[in-house]
Amino acid sequence: MSTSRVEASRATRRDRKVSSQALADTYSAFIAGIELEHLWLATLEVHNHYGPTTPQTGNVRVEDEVTWEPRDGGFRIYHTYTVIFLAASDEERPLATVRVTYGLEFSSAMPLTEELFAVFSTVNVPVNTWPYLRELIASTLGRFGWQPFALPTMKRLPRRSSRRRSSRAARSDAPAASS
């Protein structure tokens, strides 16, 4: 590699590091200036395709999508989870599906931007909604007549891309569980 390419590569890495630190500082200021005002169940759709007894074996797939919209003095988030219970022998045929959307309203001293949303939707939003999903799944399975099942603890790292609409499905960092 030529000397100029090496220098350009170092400059690019240095610029990314400075940019990353600036985003971290902005994000910290943003988080310090927000308050969760409301969290509610916006929609719920449940389908039990299996019946009233607990399936012997199976897998659980969790997909989620986060959208947002600005509002006076803050913003509103909609976090949709789709939980699909699959037979171990037939990954195409769902035993049950639960699709739930939680609404969250935040007051904010700073406006939410696409760059901030990319991190916020991956890190902070699930911290607020995942416990409600875990409870909903456990109680819904009991209502099916199935053995209740607790989804695992949420563990996610920030993403690097920025989009107005965030969609995560079957990713390595998306929550997954087996029953």
One digit per residue, pLDDT tens: the chain, 179 residues?
566 665 655 556 555 566 788 889 999 999 999 999 999 999 999 999 999 999 988 899 999 999 999 999 999 999 999 999 999 887 778 999 999 999 999 999 999 999 999 999 999 999 999 999 999 999 999 999 999 888 988 876 655 543 344 444 433 333 344 44
> For 38-42, which contacts have Cβ atoms below 8 Å and span 24 or more sequence positions?
38/103, 38/104, 38/105, 39/102, 39/103, 39/104, 39/105, 39/128, 39/129, 39/132, 40/102, 40/103, 41/100, 41/101, 41/102, 41/103, 41/132, 42/78, 42/101, 42/102, 42/103
Neighbour tally for 17: CB within 10 Å: 10
CB 108 within 8 A of CB 29: no
Model confidence, pTM: 0.77
